[in-house]
Structure 1
Amino acid sequence: MSTPTTGEQTALVDSAVRRSAKRLIPFLLLMYVIAFLDRSNVGFAKEELEADIGLSAAAYALGAGLFFVGYALFEVPSNLIMHRVGARWWMARIMVTWGIIATAFMFVQGETMFYVLRFLLGVAEAGFFPGVLLYLTYWFPEDRRAFATGLFQMGLPLANIVGGPLSGGLLELDGFGGLAGYQWLFMVEGVLAVLVGIVAVFYLTDRPEKAAWMPAPERDALLARLEADNADRAAVGGHQGWAKALLNPRVLYFCLICLCIQAAVYGLTFFLPTQVASITGRDVGFQVGLLTSIPWACAFVTIALLPRFADRTGRHREIGAALLVLSGIGIAVSAVAENAVVAIVALCVAAVGFVTCQPLFWTLPTRYLSGAALAAGFGLINGLGNLGGFIAPNIRVWAEETFDSSTAGLFALAGMAVLGALFLLGTRFLRTAPADAPATTADAVR
């Protein structure tokens, strides 16, 4: 049998990438949508929880953030386990356990139980997002990874497009069947996670070598390309142990960038329903849910387009930084806008910025690490970075109370987004290889 030419090899890789994307991305997207619904639906339940169990604003902010403490503590071990046992069973385990805990929120009785369940939800979900990022490195070459990651991260705006009306509508079932609206919300969205987790066992494939649904020539070409990418990373010190990767200054720097991004995301997300309700003068429900979906719909469009452009130009860092600055501007304008239309437009700008910058950011760590080191690095970056979700709501409440201003918290979040942009631009100064090392395709952070 003749060896494929370079052109034929490229065509086979292209076909394998398209086939992998069609097979895997929609299901991973569904998983992400449900994950984000279950971690952020407390934003819709906030007012009912305050009225029904006497949850204070400060207790809500603390509980909302405690999710990320449990999440951060178990990210690295979860990702290392997935790297060892495979994505299929581990992703299913994550979804089933978090679905059970998410459903248990319908029985919450007071602040302590709220705190415990939020922490346990973070523990259960730990490893999902970095696990998927790691999983994508098994299937997509480096020059297609922003595209694949962008498709997956469309789950964030999609979750909010779907989740706004869904969560708002479930709240309007208040009293039906003897259950409060927030109980319907937690039960329905939690059970969805359990069902999809069970399906994951039968649907996902751990690695390309095991993909019976991919023709052998495509599979071989894809594996050869992925092995070449790994060789490039080895040339810049990528094959280091997972423990050493956790102390790598570059990994810790990426943690700082991720923290700033997530602070902007969750500082707005956890309060968006009540912010939109305040802007429009409506109660949180189906109509407010529809309005909160508008910013996420805008982000859905841009995250589908910009990562491909970044892959073609190679300017992931610069485009990502510009998007974070745009996000900061949008958050700041939404704080002072007196007109409802202007405020919604500003929130659209904010969502476009902090959603679309994320797949661009996540292409950078993959250029330094591989194997167990990449699994640990992804886990640490996402775990410590997502502490921004703990810090942000508490900073927002602290700023509003300290300065006796309803806008101070949003200005603090805007500052976090701009700070993240500066840190992202600073990756230009991270060395990717020793000065005397031969050039490779991964030599420079684009």
Structure 2
Amino acid sequence: MATSDDAFERSTIRAISWRLLPLILLGYLASYMDRVNIGFAAPTMNAQLGFTASIYGFGGGLFFISYALLEIPSNLALARVGARRWLARIMITWGLVAMSMALVRTPWQFYLGRFLLGAAEAGFFPGVIYYLGLWFPQAWRGRAISRFYIAAPLASVVMGAVAGSLLGLDGRLGLHGWQWLLIAEGAPAVILAFVFLRFLPDRPADAAWLGPEQRAWLEAKVAAGNAAIAAPDHSQLRALLRPAVIALVLVNFLYLGPYYAFTLSAPTVLKEATDLSASQVGYLIAAGGITGALGMAFTGWSSDRRSERYLHLAIPLVLAAACFAAIAFVPAPGVVMAAYLAMMACYFGISAAFWLAPGEIVHPRAVAVTVAAINGLGQVGSFVFPWLWGVAKDRTGGFHLGLSLLPLSFLAAASIVLGLRHAQRRAG
């Protein structure tokens, strides 16, 4: 039977969830959409501009180099300036750069645009992870992260649903369809930035919509949970040298880079493997966004319920490897479609579990920098793998070589996670 304290806790968490998470979800949806929408633009953009797969893969991956370089500085600035203003600044900058990508004409302009887009977006995701840590107690954090991070698979739903219509505007006002797509999908970030400035409070103490007792309880609960994790490092940067943090960097490198190598070319890969039309591929990718959202929601819920993070990360890593193997080695259209839908559920389940680990390894004072470092250094793989993917495509004339290597990377990441789990259990 629920006590009055339980009811008070649930009502407080419900209040902050409904006030904060939908807005943050929309912001991250816009972020993820602007990061990968060139996958839909690529077939016509590359053909019209004369870009090879190597040029496209190198430029697509350049986003993650500047993103990685500026992650830590951006989050140090966020902690100083405040989440509301800094996240809004990030959104305005990346929205404008994303729209300007419609102006590229040469490979070097494409490279510059992707590099600047990564620099503009740097810090948004780890900044949100840090921000949620100020609002949600440890027992609720997994659900909070999965409910905002669900925007990533939902972005696939939105892109898959609208890409065909936007590409169909080809010739309107003298613009190509891929230009309409980039402009229309970059604008929401700029608009949402002003909504953030108006409605996103920095800390519970600033939330006028919470009662005084709720604000006091929330800050005490979060502080108590944080105190139980570890003593703060004298230097935030010292936390980055911990073996567990280095292990998470490697895991992020090994699963994130291969995923982006695939997803930046997913519309083309799926079209070739299934003989679906461009609009049908869009619907398949939208369906993958739905299975991804379900996988993410389930993993966040189950991980909190069982108070376990590492198996919830290792198991979907292994399953994702199996899905990529099926796409690579079983060319039947039905198998490829089913494997793609299952892979999306696994991948976003991985993401839901992965970002719960840093908050249980380092003290909250170091979380912003630690998450930024894990995300930023791991994102280097998101440059390396798409670039090599494009080179392999140009050298072999197809995607099979790249696809066949993806399972190995995911299995390597799973082995590191299991080793980290063993080390953490021994230390505990």
Query: Is TM (by shorter chain) over 0.5?
Result: yes
User: C-alpha distance in 2, partners of 1:189/1:67?
Assistant: 17
- Corresponding residue for residue 263 of structure 1: 257
User: In 2 relative to 1, CA 169–337 (structure 1 residues): closer, same or farther, beyond 3 Å?
Assistant: farther
Q: Give the deviation of 1:100 after TM superposition.
A: 0.5
Q: Within 5 Å, which residues of 2 pair with 1:268-347?
A: 268-284=262-278, 286-347=279-340
Say which of 75, 82, 101 aligns to 2:97.
101
SS at match of 2:134: helix
Amino acid at match of 1:259: F
TM-score by length of 2: 0.95
Preserved CA contact (<8 Å) 2:65 2:380: yes
Q: Give the deviation of 1:239 after TM superposition.
A: 4.0
Amino acid at match of 2:141: R
Preserved CA contact (<8 Å) 2:298 2:349: no
User: C-alpha distance in 1, partners of 2:321/2:23?
Assistant: 32
Q: Give the deviation of 1:240 after TM superposition.
A: 3.7
More deviation in 163-172 or 84-93? Answer: 163-172
Preserved CA contact (<8 Å) 1:327 1:353: yes
Question: CA offsets per residue over residues 137-183 of structure 1, 9 Å max, x none?
Answer: 01111111111111111111100011112123211111112110011
User: C-alpha distance in 2, partners of 1:337/1:176?
Assistant: 41
User: C-alpha distance in 2, partners of 1:190/1:90?
Assistant: 18
Q: Within 5 Å, which residues of 2 pair with 1:47-446?
A: 47-233=43-229, 236-284=230-278, 286-400=279-393, 406-431=399-424, 444=428
Amino acid at match of 2:344: A
Question: CA offsets per residue over residues 191-216 of structure 1, 9 Å max, x none?
Answer: 11111112110011111111111112
User: C-alpha distance in 2, partners of 1:55/1:171?
Assistant: 18
User: C-alpha distance in 2, partners of 1:224/1:145?
Assistant: 15
SS at match of 1:148: helix
Q: Give the deviation of 1:264 after TM superposition.
A: 3.3
Amino acid at match of 1:53: L
User: In 2 relative to 1, CA 429–305 (structure 1 residues): closer, same or farther, beyond 3 Å?
Assistant: closer
Preserved CA contact (<8 Å) 1:264 1:354: no
User: C-alpha distance in 2, partners of 1:20/1:268?
Assistant: 36
Preserved CA contact (<8 Å) 1:238 1:368: no
- In structure 2, the gaps of 5 or more residues are none
SS at match of 1:139: coil
Q: Give the deviation of 1:338 after TM superposition.
A: 2.6
Amino acid at match of 1:99: G
User: C-alpha distance in 2, partners of 1:378/1:58?
Assistant: 31
User: In 2 relative to 1, CA 371–241 (structure 1 residues): closer, same or farther, beyond 3 Å?
Assistant: farther
Report the number of matched residues.
427
More deviation in 8-17 or 70-79? Answer: 8-17
Q: Give the deviation of 1:399 after TM superposition.
A: 4.2
User: In 2 relative to 1, CA 377–363 (structure 1 residues): closer, same or farther, beyond 3 Å?
Assistant: same
User: C-alpha distance in 1, partners of 2:364/2:348?
Assistant: 27
Identity of aligned residues (%): 36
More deviation in 86-95 or 338-347? Answer: 338-347
Q: Give the deviation of 1:57 after TM superposition.
A: 0.7
Preserved CA contact (<8 Å) 1:102 1:190: yes
Q: Give the deviation of 1:227 after TM superposition.
A: 0.9
User: In 2 relative to 1, CA 237–398 (structure 1 residues): closer, same or farther, beyond 3 Å?
Assistant: farther
User: C-alpha distance in 1, partners of 2:337/2:349?
Assistant: 18
User: In 2 relative to 1, CA 283–59 (structure 1 residues): closer, same or farther, beyond 3 Å?
Assistant: farther
Amino acid at match of 1:26: P
User: C-alpha distance in 1, partners of 2:343/2:424?
Assistant: 31
Residue 15 (str. 1) matches residue 11 (str. 2): yes
Q: Give the deviation of 1:283 after TM superposition.
A: 4.9
User: C-alpha distance in 2, partners of 1:237/1:256?
Assistant: 25
User: C-alpha distance in 2, partners of 1:221/1:345?
Assistant: 46
Question: CA offsets per residue over residues 102-121 of structure 1, 9 Å max, x none?
Answer: 01011101000000010000
User: C-alpha distance in 2, partners of 1:197/1:210?
Assistant: 19
Preserved CA contact (<8 Å) 1:263 1:416: no
TM-score by length of 1: 0.91
User: In 2 relative to 1, CA 387–213 (structure 1 residues): closer, same or farther, beyond 3 Å?
Assistant: same
More deviation in 369-378 or 214-223? Answer: 369-378
Question: CA offsets per residue over residues 328-381 of structure 1, 9 Å max, x none?
Answer: 110110112332111110111211111111121111110122344211101000
User: In 2 relative to 1, CA 152–91 (structure 1 residues): closer, same or farther, beyond 3 Å?
Assistant: same
